[in-house]
Amino acid sequence: MKIGILTLPLHTNYGGILQAYALQQVLQGMGHEAMVLDEEKQFHFSLKRRIEMYVKGKVKRLLQGKNAIIYSPEYYKQLWAARTRYTGQFVSEHIVRRVVKDVSEISEGEFDAFVVGSDQIWRARYAQPFPGVGNAFLLFSKGWDIKRISYAASFGTDNWEYNKSDTVKCSMMAQAFDAISVREASGIMLCREYLGVDAQQNIDPTLLLDADDYVKLVKRNTPQSPGTLMCYALDQGKEVEDIVSCIAKEKMLTPFYANSQTENHRLTLEERVQPPVEQWLQGFRDAEFVVTDSFHACIFSILYRKPFVVIGNKCRGMTRFESLLQIFGLEGRLVSSYEDYKQKVEELLQPIDYEPVYRILAEKRGEAIKFLEEALS
């Protein structure tokens, strides 16, 4: 069966890239021809926006001098190329894609099925994978004779973020799906209440592969990590630094950061280059402890059997962390602040007994494969 995988655009997010890779690997292992539908990055700006950038650039140069960063269409192209220098290479090497400017380029009959997922593909506040509300629910394929499946699709939160008119569109398309699974337990309730459909919960695609499957991706010339306490923080700040400092002192570990600050506009282009995916994976292998505020870094800590602390990020969505950790009985690993960490420090510094965790993981993997096999049969 020829399957199109619809997910969020692949750029600098390690978790987003690897969940697409994992889902494709699983579907290919089941004998299907799976291809990720990826959106081509475009740099189109309206005339009004171009004029605004030009005027602001002139003013900025007058105030800050000739070395001031000017946000022009050309700058954004250079920034994209810099940020994705290594992650783009990984995607090109390891993920089979169909890159399109718009979903109108996808023709009826080109695929036998679409699988939507995973990541926060159904979160309204995030950019849709393609322009037009509803395309994350396959609105572009309305009326086509194909299978429609979601695998571990995530709303990212337990709050409904769509307005009334968009809810009607999404509900209409959701009811045309052959099978729906969501990543968080709260997603089952959201599907039932707002979309009028039943769903089951399945684990993130990255958990369907073993650590050894990811170790194979790491190139021989990938350097060893510069420390033993891995920190992967999407939102670096004092809370994160204080927790890292405390753990480093208590466990006598050397901290290292596994990502660049790609969103920090004050940095140069070179400083915003995201390190290679392989280097990120190597970080988990080398680490003796992990501190993160990332959902997928939690997953890879589990896959690599590392002790970890996850700092909940309310803006990015707490439901994802709570649902994941509850599955494996690891709720105690989640903290909301430095003060919260200090209150739980004795428990958090203890090693994790991964035997019961892996028994649960084996069961959840079985449920996931069964769901996919039945949905695609």
Quick one: pLDDT at residue 286? 97
Q: How far apart are CA 147 and CA 244, in angstroms?
A: 47
The pTM assigned to this predicted structure is 0.94
Q: How far apart are CA 204 and CA 21, in angstroms?
A: 12
The vertex-90 CA angle with 218 and 220, nearest 5°, equals 25
Q: How far apart are CA 55 and CA 43, in angstroms?
A: 19
Quick one: pLDDT at residue 44? 77
Quick one: pLDDT at residue 265? 80
E strand intervals along the chain: 2-6, 33-39, 97-100, 113-116, 147-153, 179-182, 200-201, 229-232, 255-257, 289-292, 308-311, 334-335
In sequence order, the β-bridge partners of residue 290 are 230, 308
Domains of the chain: 2-39+90-209+363-376 (3.40.50.2000), 47-81 (no CATH), 213-361 (3.40.50)
Residue ranges in the chain whose pLDDT is less than 70: 127, 315
Give tens-digit pLDDT for 256-273: 999 998 888 888 889 999
In 3D space, the residue among 117, 179, 114, 119 whose CA is nearest the CA of residue 371 turns out to be 179
Tokens in use for 42? 């475009």
Quick one: pLDDT at residue 47? 79
Please spell the DSSP secondary structure of 123-188, one letter per residue: -TTSPPSSSSTTGGGTGGGTT--SEEEEEEE--SSSS----HHHHHHHHHHHTT-SEEEESSHHHH
Give tens-digit pLDDT for 285-299: 999 999 999 999 999
Instruction: Give 302's contacts (C-beta < 8 A, 6+ positions apart).
Output: 207, 308, 328, 330, 354, 357, 361
> Rounded to the nearest 5°, which phi and psi values hold at 255?
-75, 150
Quick one: pLDDT at residue 261? 86
Peptide bond into 118 cis (omega under 30): yes
Quick one: pLDDT at residue 49? 79
Q: How far apart are CA 337 and CA 313, in angstroms?
A: 9
Beta strands 289-292 and 33-39, pairing class: unpaired
Q: How far apart are CA 11 and CA 86, in angstroms?
A: 10
Q: How far apart are CA 15 and CA 122, in angstroms?
A: 16
Q: Contact 307/289 with Cβ under 8 angstroms? A: yes
Q: How far apart are CA 302 and CA 315, in angstroms?
A: 24
Quick one: pLDDT at residue 127? 63
